[in-house]
Chain A
Amino acid sequence: MVERYKMINIAMQAANNNLALKLSSSKQSAKRFTKIESRDVNVYYGNKHALKHVNLSVYKNEVTALIGPSGCGKSTFLRCLNRMNDVIDICKVTGKITLDDYDIYNSSLDVVQLRARVGMVFQKPNPFPKSIYDNIAYGPRIHGIAYGKAELDEIVQNCLDRAGLWKEVSDRLEQPGTNLSGGQQQRLCIARAIAVNPEVILMDEPCSALDPIATARIEELIEELRENFTIIIVTHSMQQAARVSQRTAFFHLGELLEVGDTKTIFTNPINSCTQGYITGRFG
C-alpha cells in the first residue's frame, strides 16, 4: 500500500508544491517573504540516504511545522538549516539551502555566524550547568551583544520576560538553571536562544518531554515569538502542529510528500499518505 502511495506521491509532489504555493500566494501574497529556501536537498549518513530531494520554502514570521513518522528525516532537515549536521563526521549534505538568498553551505560562510542567526531549541531541555543568569547571558557575551553589565542585565530580564519565565525566576537568577522544572528549563532554553537575537528559531520537538500545561505555555510562547522570528518546529503531535503553525510540511521516508497551509493540510490534504498520517491511520 505504502509503496503505491509513494509512486503516486512522487508524481504528484511537484504539483502539490506548486499548488500549495499558489494557494498561499493567492491568500496572503503581499505579506509572505521567503526566509529559507531549500532546493533539491539530499542528506546521506554514510550509505544511508536520509533525506531525498527536499524542496521547501519557509516564510518569514510564520511557524512552519514539520510532521511525519519517526525516522522520516524531519530532524535531519532541521539540523541542515543551522548546519548542526557538520558535527557528524559521516553526514553529507548536497543541494542548496539559502537564508535570505545566501547559500548557507557556501564554503566562505562562517558557521558560527550562521548559528547566531539561526537559533535552535532541542527536544530535551539542555540548560548549561550554570546559573539562570549565565545561561541567558552566555550568547550575548560571546557575540559581544551587550556593552556593560547594565545592558546585559536588561537583555537577561527581557529574554526571560519574553519566554514567560521572569516572574518565576526573577528572585533566583543565581541558582543553577538545571534546578528548574522541565517546562521551565525548556523556556529557559528558548530564552537563551532568543537572547542572541536570531532571525530563525529551529525547534526540535520542544514539548515532547513536557506535561500538557508546560506544553500549552510553550505553544503560547511560540505564537508570541512569531511576530519577531521565523520559527520551524518539528513535532509528533498533530494537534500541536494544527494549533501553532501556519504552514505544515509532511515528511515520509526521507521525502517531503506534501507542504501547504496548515489549514489545507489538515482539512483537505491532497496526498492520501498525508491524510492517513494526520488522521492516525498509520505512522
Chain B
Amino acid sequence: MNNTLSTSLNKSASSQTIRLPDFSGSHLAKRYASERRFRILGIASVGVAGIILLILLSSIVSKGYSAFWLHKVELNITFSAEVLNPDGSTLEEVKLKQANYLALIHNALKEKFPAAVGNRRKIRMLYGMIAPKADLVLRDMVLSNPSLIGTTKKVLLKLSDDWDSLSKGFINRDLPESDRRIKDLEINWHDQLQSEGHIHSVFNADFFTTGDSRNPEEAGIYSSLIGSILTLTVTLLISFPLGVMSAIYLEEFAPNNRFIDFIEININNLAAVPSVVFGVLGLAVFLNFFGLPRSAPLVGGLVLALMTLPTIIIAARSALKAVSPSIREAALSLGASPLQVVTHHVLPMAMPGILSGTIIGMAQALGETAPLLMIGMVAFIVDIPRTFTDPATVMSVQVYIWSDSPERAFVERTSAGIMVLLGFLVLMNAAAILLRKRFEFRW
C-alpha cells in the first residue's frame, strides 16, 4: 500500500517535472550579454549625439568667433580748416555736418603712402583700405569738439572688410595675385602698417549695436535681436494663455464626445503641419484680409503663435494628465469647486511640465524662418524696430540673409549670428528652468 503510493507519487513527479529557475549556463549568459549589449548601444548613441553636437558647435564657433572683433588702422588725421571750412566762414554746425571728412582720410592716407600718389589705380586701392562709413566717426568727433579743427590727431579707423579679412589671416597669400581680392601692393602696405604697429585689433561692438548693412564691417545683429524679442513677446503673449486655457478646458472640463475627440485629433495634426503653411495662412489672413502691416513683429508673432499653440496644448495636456487624481479627489472632498481644484492644485503642479512644453515651442518659434519669409520679415532692416508694427526681421532670418551674401566677411558674421541666436536660446531656457524651480515641489 505504502509502496504503491510512493511509486505513484514518483510517477506524477516525473511526469510533471518541477523545473527550478535556470541559473546556469547559456540562459544566464544570454541575459547578461543582452544587458551589456543594451548598455553599450545606449552609451554609443549618447556618444554619437554628443559628438555630432560638438562638431556642430565647434564648426560654428571656429567660423564665427572672429566676427566678434575687427581691425582698425591708426592714422594721423589732420583736421585741416581748409578742407572742412573751405570758405573760411564762421564755424556753423550745418556746414560741419556736410563737410568733406572723407578728404581728411584720403589726405592722411596719401601722406602715409606718398608713392601711390599720381596712380589712379593705386589711389583707389589705397582709399579702399578704410571702411566706407569711417568718415562719420570723424564727423562725430568734430561735431562734439569743434576745437579739433586745425589740429592733428591719431584716430583709429575701421578697416574695410577685405583688409579686415587680410588682418585676420583669411586671405590666402599663396594664391596668384589675379585670384585674390587683395593685391600684392595692398599686402605690402598692410604688412608695413602692421610692422609699424598701426593696426589694432578691437572688440566689434558695432556687431551688437547696429542693424543690417550691405557692408559686412557695418552689419550688426542688434536690430534682428530686437525683432526677435518683439516677435517672441507677441508669440508668448498669445500662445501661452490660449494654449494653457485650451488644455485646461479639454483636459478638465470638456465632455467626452465626438466633437471634442475631433478637436483633439486636429490639434495633434496641427502640430505636424509644415511651418511654411502657417506663413501662407498669415499672408492670406493677417496681411491680405485684415490688412496688418508687412514685415511687422506683430504679424510674425501671430503666425508663430499659431505654429506654437499645438505644441503648448499637447504639452500642457500631458502635464495636467500627469497630476495625480488623488490630489483632485482631496481638493474636491474638501468642497473645492472644479475651478478651484484646477487653479489651486492641478495647475501649479502641472506648471513645470507646461513651462517645459512652452519653452520647446518658443525655441521652435525662435529658430523659425520659413513662415516669416512669407509675411515679409525677410526685409533688409537697418533701423532698430521700436514698436510691434515697425518693419523688422528676426535673428534666424538675419542669419539666412547673411548666409546668402557674397562677401567673404559675411561668412563669419553668419556663424556669429548663429552664436548669438544660440546664446539667446540658452538664456530663454535658463529663464524657464528658473521658473520651473520656483514651481517645483518635493513629493
A interface residues with partner B (beta carbon < 8 Å): 82, 84, 87, 89, 112-116, 119-120, 122, 124, 126-130, 138-139, 142-143, 176, 178-179, 189, 192-193, 196
Question: With A126-B329, A128-B327, A129-B349 in contact, is A192–B442 under 8 Å at CB?
Answer: no
Complex alpha-carbon distance, A189 and B327, angstroms = 11
Partner of A126, one of B256, B327, B336: B327
Whether B441 lies near A193 (C-beta < 8 A) is: no
CB A129 to nearest CB in B, in angstroms, measures: 4
**Partner of B335 from A122, A130, A139, A189 at Cβ < 8 Å:** A139
**CB contact under 8 A between A138 and B344, given known A84-B329, A112-B337, A115-B332:** yes
Q: Is the CB of B340 within 8 A of A142?
A: yes
Bound-complex Cα distance A231 to B193 (A): 96
A143-B335, A176-B441 known; A126 vs B330 contact (CB < 8 Å): yes
- B442 pairs with A179, CB closer than 8 A: yes
From the candidates A84, A89, A113, A124, name the one contacting B333 in the complex (CB within 8 A).
A84
B326 at interface (Cβ–Cβ under 8 A)?
yes
Instruction: List residues 295-327 of chain B with CB under 8 A from any CB of chain A.
Output: 324, 326-327
Interface centre among B324, B326, B329, B334 (most CB of A within 10 A): B334
B331 in the interface (beta carbon within 8 A): yes
Question: Which residues of the partner chain A approach B256 to less than 8 Å between Cβ atoms?
Answer: 89
A115 touches B335 (CB 8 A): yes
Asked if B443 is at the interface of the complex by the 8 Å CB criterion, the answer is yes
Q: Which residues of B contact A113 (CB under 8 A)?
A: 335
The smallest C-beta distance from B321 to any residue of chain A, in angstroms, reads: 15
A129 touches B443 (CB 8 A): yes
What 10 pairs across the A-B complex have the smallest Cβ distances?
A116-B335, A120-B333, A126-B326, A115-B335, A129-B441, A139-B334, A126-B330, A112-B337, A112-B335, A178-B443
Query: In the complex, A16→B443 CA distance in Å?
Result: 47
Task: Name which residue of chain A comes closest to B324, CB basis.
Answer: A126
Residues of A within 8 A of B335 (CB): 112-116, 139, 142-143, 196
Q: Is B63 an interface residue (CB 8 A)?
A: no
CB closest residue in chain B, given A116:
B335
Q: Decide if B106 is an interface residue (CB 8 Å cutoff).
A: no
Chain B residue numbers with a CB within 8 Å of A176 are 441-442
Of A82, A128, A179, A189, the contact of B345 (CB 8 Å cutoff): A128
- Provide a sorted-by-A list of 19 A–B residue pairs whose CB atoms are within 8 angstroms: A84-B333, A89-B256, A112-B335, A112-B336, A112-B337, A116-B334, A116-B335, A119-B333, A126-B327, A127-B330, A128-B330, A129-B327, A139-B335, A142-B340, A176-B442, A178-B443, A179-B442, A189-B330, A196-B335
Verify B329–A122 contact, CB threshold 8 A: yes
Establish whether residues A142 and B442, one from each chain, have CB atoms under 8 Å apart when the complex forms.
no
CA distance A129 to B334 in the complex (A): 15
Q: Does B331 contact A128, Cβ atoms closer than 8 Å?
A: yes
CB-nearest residue of chain A relative to B255?
Answer: A89
B431 smallest CB distance to A (angstroms): 23
- Return chain A residues, CB-CB under 8 Å to B337: 112
Whether B334 and A193, one on each chain, are in contact in the complex, defined by CB atoms closer than 8 angstroms, is yes
Cα distance, A179 to B331, chains bound together (Å): 19
Which chain A residues border B443 with CB–CB below 8 Å?
129, 178
Cα-based distance from A87 to B334 in the complex (angstroms): 14
Q: Tell whether, in the assembled complex, residue A124 and residue B334 are in contact, meaning their CB atoms are under 8 Å apart.
A: no
Beyond A122-B326, A124-B326, A138-B344, whether A193 also contacts B333 by CB under 8 A is yes
When the two chains form their complex, are residues B442 and A178 in contact, meaning their CB atoms are under 8 A apart? yes
Q: In whole Å, how far is B147's beta carbon from the nearest beta carbon of chain A?
A: 67
Determine the distance from Cα of A119 to Cα of B330 in the docked complex, in whole angstroms.
10
Interface string of B427-443 (1 = CB under 8 A from A): 00000000000000111
A119-B334 in contact (CB<8A): yes
> What is the distance, in angstroms, from B162's C-beta to the closest C-beta of chain A?
63
Alpha-carbon distance between A193 and B332 when the two chains are bound, in angstroms? 11
In angstroms, how far is the closest chain B Cβ from the Cβ of A90?
Answer: 9
A24 to chain B, nearest CB (A): 29
| Neighbouring A residues of B329 by C-beta, 8 Å | 84, 87, 120, 122, 126
Interface-central residue, B328, B330, B331, B333, by most chain A CB under 10 Å: B333
What residues on B are CB-neighbors of A87 within 8 Å? 328-329, 332
Bound Cα distance A126, B334 (Å)? 12
Q: In whole Å, how far is A282's beta carbon from the nearest beta carbon of chain B?
A: 29
In the assembled complex, how far is the CB of residue A159 from the closest CB belonging to chain B, in whole angstroms? 12
**Minimum Cβ distance to chain B for residue A78 (Å):** 11
**What CA separation (Å) do A184 and B5 show in the bound complex?**
57
List the A side residues contacting B328 at CB < 8 Å.
87
Nearest A-chain residue to B330, judged by Cβ: A126
B345 CB contacts on chain A under 8 angstroms:
128
Distance in Å: Cβ of A186 to nearest Cβ of chain B? 12
| Cβ 8 A contact of B442, one of A122, A126, A129 | A129
Binary flags per residue of B343-367, CB closer than 8 Å to A gives 1, else 0: 0110001000000000000000000
Partner pick for A138 among B332, B334, B441, B442, CB 8 A cutoff = B334
Report the minimal beta-carbon distance from B360 to chain A, rounded to whole angstroms. Answer: 24
Proximity string of chain B (257-281) to chain A, C-beta cutoff 8 Å, 1 when within and 0 when not? 0000000000000000000000000
Other A-B pairs beyond A113-B335, A114-B335, A129-B442, 12, CB < 8 Å? A84-B333, A87-B329, A116-B335, A122-B329, A122-B330, A129-B327, A129-B349, A138-B334, A142-B334, A176-B441, A176-B442, A178-B443
With A and B bound together, what is the CA distance between A142 and B330 in angstroms?
14
A196/B330 in contact, CB under 8 A: no
Give the Cβ gap from A52 to chain B, nearest Cβ, in Å: 25
A82 vs B336: C-alpha distance in the bound complex, in angstroms? 13
B349 partner residues in chain A, CB cutoff 8 A: 129
Q: Can you list, as one digit per residue, whether each of B385-399 has a CB less than 8 Å from chain A (1) or not (0)? A: 000000000000000
Q: Please, which residues of chain B bring their CB within 8 A of the CB of A127? A: 330
In the complex the two chains form, what is the Cα distance from A138 to B344 in whole Å?
A: 9
The docked-state distance in angstroms from the alpha carbon of A84 to that of B341 is 14
Nearest-Cβ distance from residue B439 to partner chain A, whole angstroms: 11
In chain B, what residue has the closest Cβ to A113?
Answer: B335
In the assembly, what is the distance between CA of A115 and CA of B335, in Å? 5
Complexed CA–CA distance, A94 and B324 (Å): 29
Q: Closest CB of chain A to B337's CB: distance in Å?
A: 5
Which of B335, B336, B443 counts the most A-chain CB atoms under 10 A from its CB? B335
Nearest CB of chain B from residue A134's CB, rounded to whole Å? 10
Asked if A84 and B441 make an inter-chain contact with CB atoms under 8 angstroms apart, the answer reads no
Q: Do A84 and B331 have beta carbons less than 8 Å apart?
A: no
Give A122 to B324 CA distance when docked, in angstroms.
Answer: 14
Tell me how far the C-beta of B255 lies from the nearest C-beta in chain A, rounded to whole angstroms. Answer: 8
Most buried by B among A116, A126, A127: A126
Cβ–Cβ < 8 Å partners of A129 in chain B: 327, 349, 441-443
A79 to B100, CA, bound (A): 90
